[in-house]
Structure 1
């Protein structure tokens, strides 16, 4: 059972890294200091799908970490 969580966490971590890298580059830290007026734009199409998939995988990764700690 512990091995299953181990491999699940590795898979989710790699998937999360891939999804984060697929997202478009933003202004980064410079947006916090006044730059980056395009920060508040609407996501559409594939970009929206990747955004929500990233959130879902991050939540699943966190839940798998908590579950592995409890077992």
Structure 2
């Protein structure tokens, strides 16, 4: 059981990382991170279609990763 949880944790962690990396960034470059993006919109826009699906997938994988991590501490 411990081995299965470790394998599941690794797989879910990799899927979460891939889901996060595939998302479209809100701002490009380091300037958007610090606050010198230059656009008046503030970087907020609604995610639609594939972007919304990737966001939900990433969130689900992160929650699942936390659950598997907690379970593995008690087994």
TM-score (norm 1): 0.84
3-state DSSP of counterpart to 2:24: coil
CA displacement 1:19-48 (0-9 Å, x = unmatched):
011001223632xx3646352211100000
In the alignment, structure 2 segments of 5+ residues that lack a partner are none
C-alpha root-mean-square deviation of aligned residues, in Å?
1.7
> Could you tell me which of 25, 39, 44 is aligned with 2:43?
39
Written as runs of structure 1 = structure 2, the 5 A alignment for 1:9-28 is: 9-27=9-27
Q: What CA distance in whole angstroms lies between the structure 2 residues aligned with 1:38 and 1:5?
A: 41
Q: What CA distance in whole angstroms lies between the structure 2 residues aligned with 1:22 and 1:69?
A: 30
Count of aligned pairs: 69
Q: Which has the larger radius of gyration?
A: 2
Counterpart of 1:50 in structure 2 is: 54
TM-score (norm 2): 0.80
Moved over 4 A (4+): none
